[in-house]
Structure 1
Amino acid sequence: MKKNKSENIPVDFSILNDMPTDFKIDRITREAGFQMKTSHVHPFYDITYLINGECTCFVNHSIYKLSKGDLIIIPPGDIHRSTFHGKIPVERYVLSFREEELNWIRSLIGDEIVSKSLKTGVISIPSKRRDYIEALLNKLLFESEGQDILSPAFIQAGLLELLLFMIRCQQYENNVYKEIDVDNQLMQEIATYIYEHYDKKITLDDMAERFHISRSYLSKKFKQATGFGFKEYLVNVRIKNACRLLLETNHSITDIAFECGFNDSNYFGDAFRRIKGIAPNKYRRNKEAI
């Protein structure tokens, strides 16, 4: 485990090999109104817990509103972006770990429970248990700074305790699941349509007509609700699926570009490098590093 310090700077995990350790935790403060400049898609789990403030998290095609005491789970490969609103700064813990860190807990309680519990979703931690989880997260942060040779063991034990606590909340507490943001239902329907039909021709004009709203309203409201521009989100969804095809098939890069809705392989290559920080062919060759 390498030393990590709490810091008030952007945490961008969108590029390969961006987390050199198996575990990372930060305590981060954002001013109200801050918006992430880049979307996030990374090959490890993210858990964010809000200590104070409010924010909106857009994950894949779902919009969640988070407030004090809420915890969101974001599995590897999920597109997400957060927008921080309200009138006070947002303070949160951001914890990241790789899939391999789940081997221990899977051996204890079984793969089915772990897989079911660590899907995308928001848990509202009961108020009577928030002191406990915040103390646990603070302990993980303390040990991540490399106190001594026992710190890696304390981190592993602490992560196991955190995950078991989350699963217990899901299994035995009432009303811990936060619903998707119903105030933005139309934008969620539009995002879901894009997410499921990314391989088809999709334009802003076509979507405005399909959902019976104006082009300008769709563009403005989609950005407000998700943090993504319409075209930006469409391209990110297509790149996400292109990554999957690059790793799971032997299809040519040109064929993958067309399969994912791009009508120009050169544009696909440029978009891929801009979002992933690496060319498609190099991404495919670096499969073991992902």
Structure 2
Amino acid sequence: METTWLHSMVQGDATQYYRKRNGIMVEHMVRPANFDMRYNHFHQEYEIYLLLRGRRQMFFENRAYEAQAGNLILVDSGQIHMSHSIVGDPETEYERAILYVDRDIVEKVDKMFPELKIGAFFHKHYGIYELTPKQTANTRRLFLQIMGELDKAEPMSQTAILSELILGFIHFRRSNQQVACLNDVQEGKASGGKFDAVYQISDYISDHFQETLSLDSLAEQFYISKYYLSRSFHEVTGFGINEYINILRVKKAQSLLETTTLSVSEIASRTGFESITYLGRVFKKYQHVTPAQYRKSLTSTAEKNNTNT
């Protein structure tokens, strides 16, 4: 059984369940309310996150949202996101279950059943869903059924898991008219004050991350104290300024490694890194391999797929 975790264990974690097999993974955990995820802010898996207890502040596509117990969060493959604590939250812990599905599995299912368009739905309708009681029960049942199949590892268990996923997605789509996705109906969890300021700055960073940016230069450009900017940006997004800039750069570097034959040196220049060494260090922090190793792994995967076809 594979034991690689997408999220790092922290003091106070109480693992209720963990299994990963053939591109499907389920994590069920209880964590301290003040926990902020530190790594894996974007990954190739599609993420289905069910908040069972407590509250969390979610951040994706430069906007913040507040998730409550019973909410379902859909995260697109490769989407930068953050789950972090809410300032002043009286809760002491939160409980969540997450189902991760590898991108290649979704691509195969969409090819087999073009009507589903699972990948396109996640890309367009990521966000927080306020489930109806019936949908909450159905989602819990889906998790339990998949966990049961992961535990059995019997013949055709992978087919059974995919069947459950497809049926669960169909039921969700059919009843979506009665469900509100916060990403579809509002800009974020709040407007005015620090939220509007942080939204403007995060949008600017997203458009200019290839350029030379720093806390000092952003504070000067937006006419605010760098101390206020640093504190507010972290409270709203869960990221530090430099951390967010680097994550955007790494994601772009990853895309260039996948889609071009540019040298790593040229990619470092195009993504705003001051040197190939700095790109390598930051890239490995988030992807756990160097840029060269990442590109080599893509070649090995492509050769394997060609051999199997």
Same-fold call, TM cutoff 0.5: yes
SS of the residue aligned with 1:100? helix
In the alignment, is the contact (CA less than 8 A) between 2:22 and 2:158 conserved in 1?
no
- The partner residue of 1:268 within 269, 279, 298 is 279
In structure 1, the gaps of 5 or more residues are 12-18
Tell me the residue number matched to 1:123: 129
CA distance in 2, matches of 1:201, 1:153: 49
Provide the residue aligned with 2:15 in structure 1: none
Structure 1 residue 191: Cα displacement: 1.4
1:212-270 Cα shifts (integer Å, max 9, x gaps): 21100001111121111110111111011011111111111111111101122222222
Superposition RMSD in Å: 2.6
**Residue identity in the other structure for 2:174:** R
> 2:284 and 2:159 mapped to 1: Cα distance?
38
Amino acid at match of 2:180: N
In structure 1, the partner of 2:118 is 114
Deviates more, 1:37-46 or 1:231-240: 37-46
CA distance in 2, matches of 1:24, 1:197: 35
**Structure 1 residue 109, shift from structure 2 partner:** 5.1
Relative contact order, CA 8 A, sep 6+: which one is greater?
A: 1
Instruction: Give the match for residue 171 of structure 2.
Output: 165
In 1, the alpha carbon distance for the partners of 2:235 and 2:82 equals: 12
CA distance in 1, matches of 2:83, 2:128: 13
Q: CA, structure 1 residues 76+176, in 2 after alignment: closer, same or farther (shift >3 Å)?
A: closer
The 5-angstrom pairing of residues 92-241 of structure 1 reads 92-102=96-106, 103-105=108-110, 107-108=112-113, 110=115, 113-119=117-123, 120-146=126-152, 148-170=154-176, 172-178=177-183, 179=186, 180-183=188-191, 184-241=195-252
SS in 2 for 1:93: strand
The answer on whether the counterparts of 2:33 and 2:94 sit within 8 Å (CA) in structure 1 is yes
CA offset digits 1:103-155 (Å, max 9, x no partner)? 335543526x4344212322221234312221222222222212633532321
What is the rounded CA distance, in whole Å, between the counterparts of 1:96 and 1:133 in structure 2?
14
Distance 1:176 1:58, change over 3 A: closer
Q: Which amino acid aligns with 1:26?
A: E
2:49 is matched with 48
User: Is residue 129–residue 179 contact of structure 2 (8 Å, CA) maintained in 1?
Assistant: no
How many equivalent residue pairs? Answer: 278
Q: 1:266 to 1:175 in 2, by over 3 A?
A: closer
Cα offset, 1:211, TM superposition:
2.2
Deviation at 1:3, TM superposition (A): 7.8
Counterpart amino acid of residue 195 in structure 1: S
Check the 8 A contact 1:222/1:229 in 2, yes or no: yes
49-58 vs 267-276, greater mean Cα deviation = 267-276
Residue of structure 2 equivalent to 1:14: none
Query: For 2:84, what is the secondary structure of its paired residue?
Result: strand
Worse-superposed segment, 124-133 or 218-227: 124-133
- 8 Å contact kept, 2:130–2:179: no
Contact 1:31 1:84 in 2 (8 A): no
Residue type of the alignment partner of 2:137: D
Cα distance 1:247–1:152, how it changes in 2: closer, same or farther (>3 A)? closer
In the other structure, the counterpart of 2:14 is: none
Partners of 2:8 and 2:39 within 8 A in 1 = no
TM-score by length of 2: 0.81
Cα distance change of structure 1 residues 236 and 143 upon mapping to structure 2, 3 Å threshold: same
Amino acid at match of 1:214: S
In structure 2, relative to structure 1, the CA distance for the partners of 1:186 and 1:99 (3 Å cut) is same
User: Which consecutive unaligned segments of at least 5 residues does structure 2 have?
Assistant: 11-19, 303-309
Question: Percent of aligned positions with the same letter in both sequences?
Answer: 25
Tell me if the contact between 2:56 and 2:83 (Cα under 8 Å) persists in the aligned partners.
Answer: yes
The structure-2 alpha-carbon separation of the partners of 1:153 and 1:174, relative to structure 1 and needing over 3 Å to count, comes to: closer
Residue matched to 2:306: none
Do the aligned residues in 2 keep the contact of 1:133 with 1:162 (CA within 8 Å)?
yes
Q: What is the one-letter code of the residue matched to 2:283?
A: F
